[in-house]
Amino acid sequence: MEIIGSRRKSFLSPASDAAPTIPIYRSAPELEVRLEDFELYAVHRLRVLKGISDALSRGKKPNEMENVVKELLKVHMSHPEASQVMSKDIISHFVLRLVYCREEELRKWFLSMETTLFRYRFLLETSEAQIALMAEFDLPYKIITNAEYENLKDKLNKVARSMNSSADTIYYKAPFEKVPDLVARREVFIMKGYAYVARSQVVSLLVTHYRSHLSKALILTNRKWTSMIREQEKDRLTPIVEALSTSYLGPDYSQPKDFGEISLRDIDQIARSSFPLCMRYLFEKIKEDHHLKHGGRMQLGLFLKGVGLKLDDALAFWKSEFSKKVGAERFDKEYAYGIRHNYGKEGKRTDYTPYSCQKIISSTPGVGDHHGCPYRHLREENLRAALNNMGVANRALEDVMDKVRNKHYQLACTLTFEAVHGASCDQGINHPNQYYSDSKTILESRNNSKGT
């Protein structure tokens, strides 16, 4: 790929007039990319991958996932010029390879999401397109002969009926380890190390190969990155690449508009009714200790900015608490600057936007810290007590604790939201400010419907 200046447009050689199919990204394409598109396309694709990640962690079933993926692609991966859609797809994939090749954790995540994306895109395709794709993969597995089929028919039918589905007539013979997901769910007949994969299940074989190829490609990309590209591009592409993997892509809540401003007077009451647990906890701690360490100041401070607390009110709030411990002068000297800095407009960088759940969950509070995600860090008794204080009890409480045990912290928060507000939250909680605005929405509409 060649990254070029703004003027020239990128183009794809007009070979593919055929029905749109899925690229399998075997090699970097002969394309030119504008510098803005380099980052933009990658961000759009990242929204798709993060959307998939969200949906999976919310336990969406396979048939629901097909729709999720369809929607995500429609919203984020389209392009005003139809001929550019494929380019965008390919370019964004290869840019993200650069971004996500650099560490094991990043590679694992990227591999997992791209593989899932591929799986559902394949399932959304027409039969003809699927067959064409299979040919592109050029898998070394053969369809079983009629004789073999007759021998195994009984067993193959049993497997189909055990899944309450109908039997197929075309079966591929492949080593069992090429379809681990089918084996794990006993959805395939295996004999002497071979799995007999129905035509309708072939996506599992393709996914294994797709995954394996991408995995190797990521290792190679990483080598090239560290040995050559990172240094070569340090003034141009490298800063973009390094920022992309840590960015949160939902609304950034840096410009609160929906609920106007909140004033200091209201803050106590709002904290009780609409703050998520992480912010309630910090809020209570600062009231108690009249101090918060840096991590807590950032997490709560930016959240309050997102919620609509004006700079003057913010300064007044922090000063009133901190001066009880360190005195007004020290507050002005040492802490006020930080708060003003949070409110500064610093271009597009996301450091000064309120933290998303992802960021908060991955933070590592130390001794004396109260930030981070309480579902992750609080001991069980303390978490239970905190939730009780919010009004979450009995069955709802146990459901929340169950999610916590399984490390689904955002789901735990979602269930808490649902229990506290007596309403469902389908999209799940991804951002503390989202919790807040969803909460306000519900409470406002209740106030309005009460009339008078």
Partner 1 sequence: MVREEAENTREDMVIDGVENGHKPNYEIPDEFNSNYLKTYYDKFFPFAEMFKWMSYGNDRKHPGCDASYFGRREFSFTLENDIYMRFQSFNKAEELEKAIKYQCPFKIDIGPVYSVDPKKRNSYAQSGDNVFRPVERELVFDIDISDYDDVRFCCKGADVCSACWPLMTVAIKIIDTALREDFGFNHILWVYSGRRGVHCWVCDGKARWLDDGQRAAIVNYLHIHKGNEHSIKKVTLVGQTFHPFMGRSAEVVKEFFEEKFVLNQNLFSDEDRYEKILEMIPDESITSELRGKWQDKKRSRDDINVVRWGQLKHLLQSGKQKMLGVRRCVEEIMFTFTYPRLDLEVSKHMNHLLKAPFCIHPKTGRVCVPFDPKHCEDFDPSSVPTLSRVSSHNLQLLEELNMRPLGSGGEINLENTSLGESYRYFKSSFLQPLLKSCKEDIENAHAAKVQQSSNSLSW
Rule CB under 8 A: is residue 168 a binding residue for partner 1? no
Rule CB under 8 A: is residue 108 a binding residue for partner 1? no
Task: Name the amino acid, one letter, at 290.
Answer: H
Rule CB under 8 A: is residue 246 a binding residue for partner 1? no
Rule CB under 8 A: is residue 159 a binding residue for partner 1? yes
Using the contact rule CB under 8 A, the part of the chain among 179-187, 272-280, 286-294, 335-343 near partner 1 is: 179-187
CA-to-CA distance for 173 and 224, rounded, in angstroms? 37
Using the contact rule CB under 8 A, the part of the chain among 189-197, 304-312, 315-323, 345-353 near partner 1 is: 189-197
CA-to-CA distance for 15 and 26, rounded, in angstroms? 17
In the complex, what is the shortest distance from the CB of residue 109 to partner 1, in angstroms, rounded to a whole number? 15
Nearest CB to partner 1, comparing residues 165 and 362: 165
Is 344 exposed, middle or buried, given 0-12, 13-18 or 19+ CB atoms closer than 10 A?
exposed
Nearest CB to partner 1, comparing residues 6 and 164: 164
Instruction: Render 13-41 in DSSP notation, one character per residue.
Output: -TT--SSP------S--S-EEEHHHHHHH
In the complex, what is the shortest distance from the CB of residue 325 to partner 1, in angstroms, rounded to a whole number? 41
Q: Which of 42, 190, 360, 397 binds partner 1 (CB under 8 A)?
A: 190
Element (H, E) at 63: helix 62-76
Binding mask 199-228 for partner 1 (x = CB under 8 A): --------------------x--xx--x--
Q: Which of 36, 71, 81, 103 binds partner 1 (CB under 8 A)?
A: 103
Nearest CB to partner 1, comparing residues 181 and 399: 181
Residue 82: count of CB within 10 angstroms of its CB: 9
The answer to whether 156 touches 189, Cβ cutoff 8 Å, is yes
Q: Which of 39, 136, 181, 332 binds partner 1 (CB under 8 A)?
A: 181
Q: Which of 161, 224, 294, 341 binds partner 1 (CB under 8 A)?
A: 161
- 3-class secondary structure, 272: helix
b/e string for 389-399 if b means 16 or more Cβ within 10 A?
ebebeeebbeb
Which of left, alpha, beta for 361 (phi over 0: left; psi -120 to 50: alpha)? alpha
Q: Which of 149, 176, 259, 343 binds partner 1 (CB under 8 A)?
A: 176
Nearest CB to partner 1, comparing residues 91 and 397: 397
Residue 364: count of CB within 10 angstroms of its CB: 10
Q: Which of 9, 186, 330, 341 binds partner 1 (CB under 8 A)?
A: 186
Q: Which of 122, 172, 189, 409 binds partner 1 (CB under 8 A)?
A: 189
Q: Which of 158, 216, 294, 446 binds partner 1 (CB under 8 A)?
A: 158
Token digits of residue 263: 């004033």
Residue 51: count of CB within 10 angstroms of its CB: 21
Specify the pairing of strand 32-34 against strand 2-4. Answer: parallel
Place of tokens 């560490």: 103
Q: Which of 185, 349, 379, 395 binds partner 1 (CB under 8 A)?
A: 185
Nearest CB to partner 1, comparing residues 106 and 336: 106
Q: What is the rounded end-to-end Cα distance, in angstroms, of the chain?
A: 64
Nearest CB to partner 1, comparing residues 288 and 402: 402
Token digits of residue 47: 């929204």
Nearest CB to partner 1, comparing residues 63 and 449: 63
Rule CB under 8 A: is residue 162 a binding residue for partner 1? yes
CA-to-CA distance for 433 and 253, rounded, in angstroms? 7
H-helix segments, 259-377: 264-274, 277-289, 294-307, 311-326, 328-330, 336-343, 357-361, 374-377
Rule CB under 8 A: is residue 399 a binding residue for partner 1? no
Rule CB under 8 A: is residue 164 a binding residue for partner 1? yes
Number of residues that bind partner 1 (CB under 8 A): 27
In the complex, what is the shortest distance from the CB of residue 402 to partner 1, in angstroms, rounded to a whole number? 10
Rule CB under 8 A: is residue 329 a binding residue for partner 1? no
In the complex, what is the shortest distance from the CB of residue 155 to partner 1, in angstroms, rounded to a whole number? 5
Rule CB under 8 A: is residue 193 a binding residue for partner 1? yes
H-helix segments, 391-431: 394-405, 409-421
Rule CB under 8 A: is residue 148 a binding residue for partner 1? no
In the complex, what is the shortest distance from the CB of residue 181 to partner 1, in angstroms, rounded to a whole number? 7
In the complex, what is the shortest distance from the CB of residue 192 to partner 1, in angstroms, rounded to a whole number? 4
Whole-number Cα distances in Å, 310 to 33, 255, 433 = 41, 11, 15
Whole-number Cα distances in Å, 451 to 146, 443, 444 = 73, 13, 11
Place of tokens 């989202």: 434
Using the contact rule CB under 8 A, the part of the chain among 68-76, 160-168, 250-258, 351-359 near partner 1 is: 160-168
Binding residues vs partner 1 (CB under 8 A): 103-104, 155, 158-159, 161-164, 176-177, 180-181, 183-186, 189-194, 219, 222-223, 226
